[in-house]
Structure 1
Amino acid sequence: MKKHILPAIKLTAMCIILFAVVYPALVFAMAQLAPNHGKGKTVEFNNKKYYSNIGQAFTEDRYFSSRPSAVDYNSAGSGGSNKGPSNKEYLQQVQVRIDTLMMKNPGLVKSQIPADLVTASGSGLDPNFSVQAAKVQVKRIAKIRNIDESKINQLIEKNTEKPLLGIFGPEKINVLKLNIALDEITKK
């Protein structure tokens, strides 16, 4: 028995030191080398601080709508809904989102709606959406803000982030940055 207990205690102590002390210290040290020292990417606008790497709720029609969140944009409770495409409650929720989007954007055809405007991401906090998600909202925003659609399309193009190294991942747009840019052009 002594033969098994002593190695188990040593292994436990070693794992505690490695995973509870060394690993967190290493991650903390690496974060200090990052821009903003591991505190997230912040953007200041109108004397307010926002985190650009965490999804924000934009519900006013004059803004681009964000990707839905399974956790109501609460970064402390990051996580998806874990409901699959055969879950009736989930399908009803997605249908409500589709209906709301079509009501807010008259003339929008259901087949034009990208999935990222009606489904939440795995974390529930995705700050980005697709270029198509932005383009289907242009008419509504142009009408409400009384600006030309071409100006908004230029804004979308300017704020589109290309895939990493040109091949990894899709093109995407940070919704917060796009909405701030939209406010800036309508101030002028």
Structure 2
Amino acid sequence: MNEKTKSYPRFQLSALLIPLRISVLFMILCGIIYPLVSTGAAQLLFPKQANGSLIEDGSGQVVGSELIGQNFTDPKWFQGRVSSIDHNAASSGSNNFGPSNPALLERTKASIEAWKAQNPDVPVSQLPIALVTNSGSGLDPHITPQSAAVQIARISKLTGVSISELEQLVKANTDGRDLGVFGDERVNVLKLNLALSALLGG
């Protein structure tokens, strides 16, 4: 059969409709039904976590999230870890400087000097390394109980709250290991400062 007499199969609409129907079906399943079901289940089973683990103050005003640290500059408050992104959740991450990077060394030296100025009663040898180093995300909302404890002398002097009261406050706001096994004990800085604010009558 030559090219002139060769016949070609006709285009059939059904060949196009089958993949089109499958595409529409999966768009409905994956783009509408699944998100609605998963969102509904999350709101039903874990509403606090699904809405961002938000924290409210005594008046019911949202002041932050359990998952994102904040920068407390006033020395009368407990302070969290250093953040190279200023705790901006839109740009999670660290600067990834190596330990020999001059910029990291300068930033760490500045943090240590600031610590010495604000905490003259606590020697640098007792300064936990976590308070002058950046977390991997730059958003860490927690510090260790030790990192909170070394700030008590400063906060007691500035607020008039006794050291024993502040120690109890830190203890009351210390979370244990997950399932009693995983991770370390930790203190959420925002929650701790809210408890301190309530103690001060704020």
Structure 1 CA distance for aligned equivalents of residues 164 and 69 of structure 2? 26
TM-score by length of 1: 0.82
Matched, 1:90 2:96: no
Matched with 2:61 is 48
Deviation at residue 28 of structure 1 after TM alignment: 4.5
Structure 2 CA distance for aligned equivalents of residues 138 and 105 of structure 1? 10
RMSD of the alignment, in Å?
2.4
Q: 1:53 to 1:99 in 2, by over 3 A?
A: same
Structure 2 CA distance for aligned equivalents of residues 164 and 114 of structure 1? 22
Matched with 1:100 is 114
Structure 2 CA distance for aligned equivalents of residues 37 and 66 of structure 1? 22
Structure 2 CA distance for aligned equivalents of residues 181 and 119 of structure 1? 25
Q: Please identify the structure whose Cα radius of gyration is greater.
A: 2
Structure 2 CA distance for aligned equivalents of residues 51 and 151 of structure 1? 25
Q: Secondary structure, in 3 states, of the residue corresponding to 1:121?
A: coil
Q: Which amino acid aligns with 2:47?
A: P
Q: Residues 121 and 153 of structure 2 are in contact (CA less than 8 Å); yes or no, is this contact kept in structure 1?
A: no
Q: For structure 2, which runs of at least 5 residues remain unmatched after alignment?
A: 1-22
Structure 2 CA distance for aligned equivalents of residues 64 and 30 of structure 1? 37
Superposed, 1:1-188 pairs within 5 Å as 21=30, 25=35, 28=39, 31-32=42-43, 33-36=45-48, 38-45=50-57, 46=59, 48-49=61-62, 50-187=64-201
Structure 1 CA distance for aligned equivalents of residues 135 and 47 of structure 2? 25
Deviation at residue 35 of structure 1 after TM alignment: 2.8
Structure 1 CA distance for aligned equivalents of residues 172 and 78 of structure 2? 15
Q: 1:182 to 1:88 in 2, by over 3 A?
A: same
Structure 1 CA distance for aligned equivalents of residues 159 and 49 of structure 2? 38
Q: For structure 1, which runs of at least 5 residues remain unmatched after alignment?
A: 1-13
Structure 1 CA distance for aligned equivalents of residues 108 and 41 of structure 2? 39
Indicate the percent of aligned positions where both proteins have the same amino acid: 39
Instruction: Say how many residue pairs are matched.
Output: 172
